[in-house]
Amino acid sequence: MKNKKVIVYSTPTCPYCVYTKRYFNDNNIAFEDVDVSADRSKAQEMIEKSGQMGVPVIDIDGQILVGFQPEAFARLLK
């Protein structure tokens, strides 16, 4: 997989956020983990990018996904 910029907007209490981050770690994919519960400006950034208030929101090189979607992650990371 090529190096693509991956950002995971998450909260510590979200199980799907944990699954998403585990997927990236297990597949040796570097990502930036943004805790939107601790950073209001990043939460607003997430909402502007996705139109969603729920987490996880995943930004893979500007492609926005909402929720744990391993098949979509793999497709976008090829």
The length of the chain in residues reads: 78
Mind listing the pLDDT tens digit for each residue in 32-71? 999 999 999 999 999 999 999 999 999 999 999 999 999 9
How many domains in the chain? 1
Contact yes or no for 8/69 (Cβ under 8 A)? no
In a domain, residue 78? The reply is no
Q: What is the value of pTM for the model shown?
A: 0.94
Indicate if the pLDDT at residue 2 is higher than 80: no
Assign 3-class secondary structure to 20-51: HHHHHHHCCCCCEEEECCCCHHHHHHHHHHHC
Cα separation of the two ends of the chain: 5
Q: Read off the CATH number of the domain in which 47 is found.
A: 3.40.30.10
In a domain, residue 37? The reply is yes
Owning domain of residue 50 = 6-71
In a domain, residue 13? The reply is yes
Return d(Cα 1, Cα 29) in angstroms, integer: 8
In a domain, residue 51? The reply is yes
